[in-house]
Amino acid sequence: MHDVAAAAGVSQATVSLVLNSASGSRFSEETRKRVRDAVNRLGYRTNAHAKVLREGVAGMIGFIGDSVASSPFAGAIIEGAQQRAWEDGLLLLTVNTGGDKELETASLDTMLSYKVAGVVYGAMYHRMLEVPEALAGIPSVVLNSQDRAGRLPSVAPDEVRGGYVATRRLLEAGHSRVGLINIETLESGLPGAVGRYEGYTRALEEAGLALNPAVIRFGAGNEEDGYRYAMELMTAAKPPTAIFCANDRTAWGAYQAASELRLSIPGDVSIVGFDNQVTLAPHLRPGLTTLELPFVAMGRRAVDLILQGAEPDGRVELMECPLIERNSVTHPKEMP
């Protein structure tokens, strides 16, 4: 800093005030420019350790995820968190644990030793999580999941509303025999499976339609189950005219079943998915109408809460899943 001051022809105190954008300091733009030019020319960097000692926190927010390196959704969720952190001049320190608890513990210890401003504890699919005790002493937010103990604030997708909107889209197109291929059993307790099923049943009830177990299947959220259960539904004596597939991979399997049966989508059967997986949904033929998981918005909101102090109040903020219209829905051939 002494060298920067000498090169810019100002005092060391002026350099400090300019670099820290101190409130109340009044310098001409020419002075600020001289300081910045000297910083760039000399390659000056602030002392991060001194900053931590002075302010108590580093200019970083930690992000720990179970599969941030391999999930197709990871880029969007990290992008949202990183954008929001950077807007306040903070960097996101990201660690992919791959589900390794020892690595998670070591990573968390390192982040806490660096005095990060807070920690986002993320999962790549919505579930109830056992949150490390170490997070109790620092502003922390559970992202895309929920704290099973109900202590930390959580940001997650509104699964119930999403299932309702998906089913409602098919009902409004004129379908009354709407099938469902879910991503797990209700007994699993998986929030995505339970919530999307609840939204489906709520939409039917609101439309005055009885729940029909004959057109409901519980798969595992993969292409194989989508194919198998769509084949069962579409070859039944009274097949559904539309199917809500509770994720896009399931819908992909349903597309394959329809193709094998020489059925047109959406002419013979309309399909709605869930996820808006960008490597899949837009590239199916026809493009898949689906619900988008709001990963960017959720990532931003998690960092927002940390910047606000993230009180351990156990709140759960559910974020809307927008409907992405493509070409897989139309009215049924014959009105039921």
Confidence of residue 197 (pLDDT cuts 50, 70, 90): very high
Q: What crossing angle do the helices spanning 191-206 and 159-172 adopt, rounded to 10°?
A: 40
Does one domain contain both 140 and 173? no
Same domain, 38 and 117: no
Give the domain CATH number at 288.
Answer: 3.40.50.2300
The answer to whether residue 210 is domain-embedded is yes
What range does the domain containing 35 cover? Answer: 2-46
Evaluate whether residue 52 is within a structural domain: no
Q: What is the pLDDT of residue 53?
A: 45
Pair (281, 220) in one structural domain? yes
Average pLDDT over residues 286-301: 95
* Distance from chain centroid for Cα 301: 10
335 occurs within a structural domain: no
> What's the pLDDT at 334?
65
Q: Are residues 194 and 273 in the same domain?
A: yes
pLDDT at residue 52 greater than cutoff 70: no
At 45, the pLDDT band (50, 70, 90 cuts) reads low
DSSP 74-109: HHHHHHHHHHHHHHTT-EEEEEE-TT-HHHHHHHHH
Q: What percent of the chain has pLDDT over 70?
A: 91
Write down the pTM of the prediction.
0.81
What pLDDT does 89 receive? 85
pLDDT at 22 over 60: no
Same domain, yes or no, for 163 and 151?
no
**CA gap 323, 200 in Å, rounded:** 15
Percent of the chain with pLDDT over 90: 57
Q: Choose the weakest-confidence range: 45-49, 82-86, 148-152, 175-179.
A: 45-49
Instruction: Kindly indicate the confidence band of residue 333, based on its pLDDT and cuts at 50, 70 and 90.
Output: confident
Tokens of 68: 């941030």
Give domain status of residue 41, yes or no.
yes
Q: Is 330 a member of any domain?
A: no
Query: How many Å separate Cα 317 from the centre of its chain?
Result: 12
Residues 240 and 214 in one domain: yes
For the cut 90, the answer to whether the pLDDT of residue 100 exceeds it is: no
Give the per-residue pLDDT at 249.
96
Higher per-residue pLDDT: 309 or 284: 284
pLDDT beyond 80 at 122? yes
Instruction: Based on the fold, state whether residues 173 and 254 are members of the same structural domain.
Output: yes
In the three-class reduction of DSSP (H, G, I as helix; E, B as strand; rest coil), residue 140 is classed as: strand
Q: What is the pLDDT of residue 132?
A: 86
Domain shared by 181 and 69, yes or no? no
pLDDT at 164 over 90: yes
Q: What is the mean pLDDT of residues 243-250?
A: 97
Q: Are both 168 and 242 inside the same structural domain? A: yes
User: What pLDDT was estimated at residue 66?
Assistant: 79
Instruction: Note whether residue 332 is domain-resident.
Output: no
**What's the rounded mean pLDDT across residues 267-272?**
97
pLDDT for 23 equals: 54
Q: Which residues of 167-202 are buried (b: 16+ CB within 10 A; e: fewer)?
A: bbbbbebebbbbbbbbbbeeeeebbbbbbbbbbbbb
Residues 212 and 266 in one domain: yes
**DSSP secondary structure, 164-232, as one string:** HHHHHHHHHTT-SSEEEEESS-GGG--HHHHHHHHHHHHHHHHTT----GGGEEE--SSHHHHHHHHHH
pLDDT at 54 over 60: no
Q: What is the mean pLDDT of the chain?
A: 89
Residues 242, 246, 247, 252, Cα dihedral to 10°: -30
Give pLDDT, residue 336. 45
When pLDDT is averaged across residues 318-333 and rounded to a whole number, the result is 96
Range 118-124 average pLDDT: 88
Same structural domain, 196 and 262? yes
More confident site: 12 or 266: 266
Residue 19, pLDDT > 80, answer no
Q: What is the pLDDT of residue 27?
A: 78
Domains identified in the chain, total number: 3
| 331 within a domain of the structure (yes/no) | no
Beta partners for residue 64, in sequence order: 95, 121
pLDDT, residue 71, reads 61
**Domain identity same for 244 and 202:** yes
In our burial notation (b when 16+ CB lie closer than 10 A, e otherwise), range 97-117 reads beeeeeebeebbeebeeebbb
- 145 within a domain of the structure (yes/no): yes
